[in-house]
Structure formats: structure tokens, C-alpha cells
């Protein structure tokens, strides 16, 4: 048995217990660096999802249960949960990197630590938020306006940041008194058993968090389940549209964090020195091998300095060590699966067919015969209307698009179906902020980019509906009741 396997690997965490799955169907994630199987865990079937929803329902509905607890008491549980996750940090980082190819150095920065911080942040908000206020009524008497938890949350996450994206949902749900059924993605599932162990060790009450690893079928069953009150989804735009249609029919609240193709606008005064901006530029454009929704993968460069920008981006891409995700020196690991590698290679072929100029990469790295690796790849002279610039590739592939002046840069940045992230690179942060404010996107950074737990994160246009993080992220887990007295 692989060391990554939980001692509970034959069971599912439902209703605060490790229960036998309905069938013997298994999920066997593969290490994308080596193509070796990592061990097997049960695949949740519809019956398991039903049991998880029933447990979450009971925990939510029971008199004196989680929803009725004082928020400060829930906060204490959340802080213990954060501490138990922190105690498992190295095991979680290793499990994530082994499954999705995230370089271990990045997993240690983002997939551990950050989830605990988000849990603690929402525990703090649970303590300080006024969930009820009384107003004078216009017609006499008073009105008590109450913010009440929405109920049972069906939370569905992708494989690229399984810990962070689950916590973006679990934390505000727990803070408000909701209960959760989490469905991790089959590609990154082993780490979810460590989350369950942490919840159990922290004394999270039975049924407040239930975990059903599975594929689309389990996800679809959860979305339309009559016992679910709200859906929180992170994943691709096509899956988000399918889920939104179901939720629309059911009049079920839904938040959707979807794909992106964000612009990185390099202004003509930017300092194009790798020592100065290299690290932040790489972080903003290639983190997690390009398997990150908010990356600035369309780099917009002024004609006056076009060649310089192309040279900088090309040199940075070439400089990144590619290798096994568990190697501490690796900055670009493999793609999550053979299928994802094929998809990315398909986009590279399309880029070449469209006439874009390849400046580096485009193939599989030498010396890495096993594993789903693609070289960091840069295309120059890319037309913003081309497939390469319009579709989310989700791999280490950047395109550099020329622009004439700032108005043209803003027009090109906004000429996209998506609007999730983005960056502006400049020697003058005020000028950068002025340009950033003109970009139609949910989040944008000047000379850096990292979603901050204190600020809402989410997309404009086809990048999604609603926001996670910040106090705003709690609203989706609350509904309002007016009580006339």
C-alpha cells in the first residue's frame, strides 16, 4: 500500500463515521510524474451521495444542531480543524503533488497553510459578523432582519487546487452554520481523506462535513439532489453551464468559479529585467504548470517594446526546471493526465496551424520519457481572435499579443469571453491601477497576483457567478428573513 493512503482508504467519511461504500467501485489516481498508480479508494455512487446528503441534512435540521450553535462556538471548531490540517501539512502537500503534478514547493506554499488561514479567517468573521439587526418599520413596529444559513451545501471541486478550493467552500459554510457534502475530483482524491481525518480529530460534529469522492455522475446527482439547498462549484465553464441549467430549473442558489484566459498587460514603462519581475511574472503566468484558472496567459505587449517582452517571456519559460513534481527543484511539473497533455498538445498544434510564432517549447521535454510532461511553451505574434488567445489551454502555454497603445491594450484585454484574473506590469503602480480598473475582470493585480483571503475572488462573464473569499464570500451561504414585530 502506498504511503499516501489513509488508514481509512476502504471507507467513506459520512455522518462523522467511516462507512462502507455502497459498491466495490474504486478510483485509482495515477502519479502524472511517473504514470504509476497511487493506490485505490472507493468511488462514491448515488447511494453514497444519498447517505451523505441525509447526514448533512440531519446535522443541519436537528434542533440544537450546528446551525443553531452560537457562531463563536462554531469558530472554535473551525480553528481546531485548521490546526489539524496544519498538523498534516506535509502529508497533504505530498498527496496533492503526487496526484496532480503540482511542484511540491508550490504545494507547500499554496495547498497547505492557505486552507488553514481561510478557515481561521472565516472563524474570525463568524465571531464578528452581526447575523441579525432590528430596524424601525416604516409602518410602525420593528423589523428583525436575520441572516440565516442556507442549509445543506453541495460543494464540487476540480483537481488543480483540491485543498484550497474545497476550503473556499467549507470555511464560509461552517462559519454561517451550513453543512457540507464535498465531492472531490477523481484525479485528486487521496488528500480528501486527510481532510476527513483532520475534521474527525478536530471534533467537527457528525454530518457537518461529508466527503464523496467521485466523477461527474456523483457530482450531477449531488447538484440535483432534493436534500441539497445550495451548490458551490469550481471547475470548467462547460460543466458550470450544465450545473447552472439544473440549478436554474430547481431555483437552487449556485456559485460558479469557472475558467479563465486572463490578460497580463505589460505597459511601455515596465522594467523588463528578469531579476526585477521574473519571479512574479512566472508566478502570475505559469503557476502549477499552467493548471491554474486565474493565470495571465495572454501577455499583451506594446509594439514599441514587443521584441523585448517576447525575449523576456521566452527566456523565463526556458529557465524553469521541468521535472518530477516531488523534486524540490522542480518549477514545472507534468500535466495531470495523458488526456490533459493531449489537449494541451492539440492547442500547440492549433497555434502553429494558425500561424503563431513558436519561440520556445512546443514539445515534450528531453529526458522525461515517462510522465505527462509538456515543455513550457511561448507563442509570439498571436492574433487575439485566434483559438490560442481565446480558449483556456490549462497547460504551460503562453501567448504574446502585440498592442498599439493603452486603449488598444484595454480593448484586447476585454476582448475575451472570460474575466477572472489579470495583471498590469509597470514602473508606475498608480498608472497600473488606473489601467487595471478598466479591465473587465473579477480580480487583477499590479506587478503581482495572488488571491487574498480577505478579498472576494470570482469572475466576470463566462468565468462564473458569485464570489468566494472575503466577507462577500459568506453571503452565498446566507439567506435573509424579515421578522415583523
Given the residues 43, 257, 392, 468, the one annotated as active site? 257
Closest C-alpha among 21, 15, 12 to residue 55? 15
Select 75 or 397, whichever has its Cβ closest to ligand NAD. Answer: 397
Using CA atoms, how far apart are residues 326 and 32, in angstroms rounded to an integer? 11
The torsion angles phi and psi of 393, rounded to 5 degrees, stand at -90, -40
Nearer to ligand NAD, 125 or 231 (CB): 231
- Nearest distance from C-beta of residue 305 to ligand NAD, angstroms: 30
Residue ranges that bind ligand NAD, judged by CB under 6 A: 156-161, 165, 183, 185, 215-216, 219-220, 223, 234-236, 239, 242-243, 257-260, 293, 392, 394, 420, 459, 464
Count the neighbouring beta carbons within 10 Å of the beta carbon of residue 378: 27
Distance CA 2, CA 214 (A): 20
CB of 161 to ligand NAD, least distance (A): 6
Distance of CA 405 to the CA centre of its chain: 33
All 3 cell numbers of residue 154?
A: 453541495
CA angle in degrees (0–180, nearest 5) for 220-457-325: 75
Residues 178, 247, 293, 399: which is the catalytic one? 293
How many other CB atoms are there within 10 angstroms of residue 39's CB atom? 17
Compute the distance between CA of residue 362 and CA of residue 376 in angstroms, rounded to an integer: 7
How far apart, in whole angstroms, are the C-alpha atoms of residue 64 and residue 59? 9
- What is the C-alpha separation between 146 and 311, in angstroms, rounded? 57
CB of 336 to ligand NAD, least distance (A): 8
Are 213 and 244 a contacting pair, CB within 8 Å? no
Which residue lies nearer to ligand NAD by CB, 33 or 291? 291
Question: For residue 208, what are the contacts with CB-CB under 8 A and spacing of at least 6?
Answer: 16, 56, 59, 66, 174, 179, 180, 199
| Cα–Cα distance for residue pair 116/109, rounded to 1 Å | 12
Is-contact 13 184, C-beta < 8 A? no
Residue 240 pairs with which residues in a beta bridge? none
Burial class (CB in 10 A: 0-12, 13-18, 19+), 335: buried
Residue bearing cell 474504486: 26
CA-closest candidate to residue 146, choices 177, 172, 121: 177
User: What are phi and psi for residue 243, nearest 5 degrees?
Assistant: -70, -40
Q: Is 293 a catalytic residue?
A: yes
How far is it, in rounded angstroms, from Cα 29 to Cα 215?
12
Q: Which helix (H) or strand (E) holds 179?
A: strand 179-183
Read off the C-alpha cell for 216.
461527474
Minimum Å gap between C-beta 17 and ligand NAD is: 23
Give the residue numbers annotated as catalytic, written as ranges.
257, 293
Amino acid at each position: 500500500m502506498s504511503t499516501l493512503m489513509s488508514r481509512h482508504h476502504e471507507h467513506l467519511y459520512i455522518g462523522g463515521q467511516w462507512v462502507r461504500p455502497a459498491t466495490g467501485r474504486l478510483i485509482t489516481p495515477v502519479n502524472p510524474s511517473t504514470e504509476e498508480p497511487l493506490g485505490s479508494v472507493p468511488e462514491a455512487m448515488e447511494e453514497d451521495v444519498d447517505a451523505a446528503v441525509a447526514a448533512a441534512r440531519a446535522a443541519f435540521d436537528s434542533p440544537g444542531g450546528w446551525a443553531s450553535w452560537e457562531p463563536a462556538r462554531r469558530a472554535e471548531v473551525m480553528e481546531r480543524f485548521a490546526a489539524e490540517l496544519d498538523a498534516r501539512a506535509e502529508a497533504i502537500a505530498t498527496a496533492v503533488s503526487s496526484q496532480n503534478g503540482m511542484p511540491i514547493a508550490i504545494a507547500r506554499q499554496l495547498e497547505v497553510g492557505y486552507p488553514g488561514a481561510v478557515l481561521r479567517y472565516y472563524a474570525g468573521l463568524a465571531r464578528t459578523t452581526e447575523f441579525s439587526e432590528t430596524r424601525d418599520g416604516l409602518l410602525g413596529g420593528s423589523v428583525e432582519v436575520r441572516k440565516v444559513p442556507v442549509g445543506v451545501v453541495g460543494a464540487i471541486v476540480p483537481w488543480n487546487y483540491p485543498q484550497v478550493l474545497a476550503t473556499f467552500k467549507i470555511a464560509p459554510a461552517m462559519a454561517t452554520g451550513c453543512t457540507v457534502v464535498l465531492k472531490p475530483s477523481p484525479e485528486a482524491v487521496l488528500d480528501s481523506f486527510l481532510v476527513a481525518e483532520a475534521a474527525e480529530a478536530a471534533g467537527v460534529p457528525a454530518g457537518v462535513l461529508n466527503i464523496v469522492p467521485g466523477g461527474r455522475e456523483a457530482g450531477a446527482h449531488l447538484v440535483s439532489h432534493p436534500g441539497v439547498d445550495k451548490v458551490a462549484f469550481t471547475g470548467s465553464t462547460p460543466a458550470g453551464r450544465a450545473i447552472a441549467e439544473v440549478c436554474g430549473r430547481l431555483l437552487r442558489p449556485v456559485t460558479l468559479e469557472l475558467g479563465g484566459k486572463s490578460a497580463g498587460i505589460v505597459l511601455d514603462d515596465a522594467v523588463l529585467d528578469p531579476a526585477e519581475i521574473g519571479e512574479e511574472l512566472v508566478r502570475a503566468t505559469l503557476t502549477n504548470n499552467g493548471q491554474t484558472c486565474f493565470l495571465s496567459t495572454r501577455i499583451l505587449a506594446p509594439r514599441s517594446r514587443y521584441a523585448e517582452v517576447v525575449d523576456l517571456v521566452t527566456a523565463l519559460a526556458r529557465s524553469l526546471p521541468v521535472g518530477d513534481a516531488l523534486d524540490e527543484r522542480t518549477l514545472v511539473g507534468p500535466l495531470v493526465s495523458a488526456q490533459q497533455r493531449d489537449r494541451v498538445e492539440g492547442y500547440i498544434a492549433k497555434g502553429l496551424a494558425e500561424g503563431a510564432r513558436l519561440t520556445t517549447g512546443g514539445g515534450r521535454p528531453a529526458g522525461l520519457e515517462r510522465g505527462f510532461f509538456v515543455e513550457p511553451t511561448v507563442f509570439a505574434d498571436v492574433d487575439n481572435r485566434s483559438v490560442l488567445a481565446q480558449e483556456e489551454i490549462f497547460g504551460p502555454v503562453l501567448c504574446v499579443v502585440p498592442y498599439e497603445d493603452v486603449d488598444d491594450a484595454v480593448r484586447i484585454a476585454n476582448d475575451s469571453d472570460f474575466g477572472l484574473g489579470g495583471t498590469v506590469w509597470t514602473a508606475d503602480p498608480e498608472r497600473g491601477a488606473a489601467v487595471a480598473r478598466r479591465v473587465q475582470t473579477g480580480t487583477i493585480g499590479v506587478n503581482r497576483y495572488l488571491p487574498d483571503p480577505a478579498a472576494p475572488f470570482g469572475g466576470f462573464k463566462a468565468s462564473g457567478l458569485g464570489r468566494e473569499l472575503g466577507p462577500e464570500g459568506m453571503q452565498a451561504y446566507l439567506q435573509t428573513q424579515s421578522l415583523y414585530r
